[in-house]
Amino acid sequence: MASASLQEAVSVLKSTNVRMTPQRHAILEFLHSSMSHPTADDIYKSLEERFPNMSVATVYNNLRVFKDAGIVKELTYGDSSSRFDCVTSDHYHVICNDCGKIVDFHYPGLDEVETLAEHVTGFDIEDHRMEIYGTCPECTKMSKQ
Amino acid sequence: MASASLQEAVSVLKSTNVRMTPQRHAILEFLHSSMSHPTADDIYKSLEERFPNMSVATVYNNLRVFKDAGIVKELTYGDSSSRFDCVTSDHYHVICNDCGKIVDFHYPGLDEVETLAEHVTGFDIEDHRMEIYGTCPECTKMSKQ
DNA sequence: TCTTTATTTGTAATTCTTATAATCTATTCT
DNA sequence: AGAATAGATTATAAGAATTACAAATAAAGA
């Protein structure tokens, strides 16, 4: 479950019969370099200059390919559009209710939750995610003024 | 954070200046009776018979009112449409990757996560949610046949 | 290089959700 | 009770995100 580097992601893709295209590489690159959690549109806009002819459909297609390959996760929050996060290691997200900022948060040791859920529900558990909601320091400061 | 009964939900609404209408009551009733986690459209369809003239907008409007009042939570997963869950007590959701079934799952004691997140990120934490993903017994059985 | 097959592109279509304005209904004030 | 006010519903249109589709293009292996 840990595809740390861009290289690793590329080789994961090659192992299935997924071809490497310039667009794909650029999308992966952007996902790995940006520490934020971009939307499909963020990605599209950021690559507009390098790929003036790229279609939005390409971004969506490839995000699905990456998701299926397990190297990218889709995050759906309250807001309209999904965000995408390259799978690096288990971490959670702290999200600001005001401005939407997302901060990574490490908290190990929730494997137990999966084990218990398996026993209680009979599901074959694969994964879990957690989001923590609140107000970020900046927004707190703003509201106090 | 615990509005166990329908009655309680109604009185919460009355305490703000939200009027009780037949449509509102029916939506609340449905949310409380259905142990599933219906989409706006599920709710709309289920009330079609009783309220032939009801608009989808009414469902959406009221779900927002309920959300703002804190008696209903919106759940956004991978699939296209949001699901709604009346706030009863803290619980999490186990979701089937195949058929989308959602099962409630109680796991106390994750307040610590919020505390730690506050310290690490400086956020003013209010809430958290967790989803556990896997394959339900039925879908596992199906795939083995 | 050639062939096969995946991928990209551009556009149209779909779906979910929200905005708007008109109508209607409940509550309040006199 | 009756009028005024504010809130709610309805119907429809608009908006935004995502997907479907068919034609054109490009990658990978023989």
pLDDT tens per residue across span A104-137: 999 988 889 999 999 999 999 998 989 999 999 9
Inter-chain touch B123–A129, beta carbons under 8 Å: no
CA distances from B57 to A71, B54, B62, B64, B71 (A): 38, 8, 8, 11, 19
CATH number of the domain residue B143 falls in:
3.30.1490.190
Residues B14 and B75 in one domain: yes
Residues A108 and A51 in one domain: no
Of B89, B114, B130, the one marking the end of a domain is B89
Give the number of domains in chain A.
Answer: 2
Of A49, A67, A88, the one marking the end of a domain is A88
For residues B131 and B145, give the distance between their C-alpha atoms in angstroms, rounded to a whole number.
28
pLDDT band at residue B90 under the 50/70/90 scheme: confident
List residue ranges whose Cβ is under 7 angstroms from nucleic strand D. A 19-22, 39-41, 56-57, 60, 64, 80-82; B 17-19, 21, 23-24, 51, 53-58, 61-62, 65, 80
Burial class (CB in 10 A: 0-12, 13-18, 19+), A19: exposed
What pLDDT does B11 receive?
Answer: 86
List the domain range (segments joined by +) for residue A107: 90-145
Nearest nucleotide (C1') to the CA of residue B54? D10
Inter-chain touch B74–A78, beta carbons under 8 Å: yes
Is A24 (CB) below 7 Å from strand C?
yes
Residues A102 and A115 in one domain: yes
For residues A85 and A92, give the distance between their C-alpha atoms in angstroms, rounded to a whole number.
11
Residues A2 and A50 in one domain: yes
Tokens 């996060």 — which residue? A85
- Percent of chain A topping pLDDT 90: 59
For residues A101 and A36, give the distance between their C-alpha atoms in angstroms, rounded to a whole number.
9
Which member of A76, A120, A133 has the closest CB to residue B78? A76
Residues A38 and A61 in one domain: yes
Estimate in Å the CA B65 to C1' C19 gap, whole number: 16
Report the gap between the CA of A136 and the closest CA in chain B (Å): 4
Is pLDDT at B3 greater than 60 in this prediction?
no
pLDDT band at residue A4 under the 50/70/90 scheme: low
Residues A124 and A143 in one domain: yes
